[in-house]
Structure 1
Amino acid sequence: MQEQSHDVALDITAETCPMTFVRTRLALDRMASGQVLRVTMKGDEPRRNVPRTAAEQGHQVLGMREGEGGVAELWLRRK
């Protein structure tokens, strides 16, 4: 996946669950509808939980890209 443009970037690589989604949700709550959030995360648990929980709350998962060292980037569009 190519990098997508985004309005806000959030790095949660140092966080552990449940704080990974708490920080993501706070960032999404501060954004306007339709804006895109790029989340940089590390670990299997955030890779599974952050996109799933965001989708359950009505946000659109635009895609995820795996990077080096176990880091992934996720793009979410605010509902």
Structure 2
Amino acid sequence: MTFVRTRLALDGLPAGSLLAVRLTGEEPRKNVSRSVRGLGHLILSEQEEADGSVVLTIQKKGDPKAA
């Protein structure tokens, strides 16, 4: 379900945009990272937070100048 929400958010963004996603737990972190990369998007950072969550910064694929 976490990836579905992430994908919907990415679908609503223009090419080249950034999206920050906070994930809790190892399984969502692995699944979302793998799926996002599989769709061709870039994960620019994985920031560990004090509460144990991870914030992924994702750049949507595509050239924003091509739009």
Category of TM-score, reference length = shorter chain: 0.7 to 0.9
The count of corresponding residues between Structure 1 and Structure 2 is: 61
Displacement of 1:51 in angstroms is: 1.1
Displacement of 1:69 in angstroms is: 2.1
Distance 1:76 1:50 in 2: 11
TM-score normalized by structure 2? Answer: 0.86
Query: What percent identity do the matched residue pairs reach?
Result: 46
User: Matched residue of 1:58: which SS?
Assistant: coil
Runs of 4+ in 1 over 3 A off after TM superposition: none
Q: Which has the larger radius of gyration?
A: 2
The alignment yields a C-alpha RMSD, in angstroms, of: 0.7
Distance 2:47 2:2 in 1: 17
Structure 1, unaligned runs of 5 or more: 1-18
Structure 2, unaligned runs of 5 or more: 62-67
Amino acid at match of 2:36: A
Moved more, 23-32 or 66-75: 66-75
Distance 2:42 2:53 in 1: 21
Distance 2:21 2:4 in 1: 12
1:1-79 map, 5 Å: 19-79=1-61
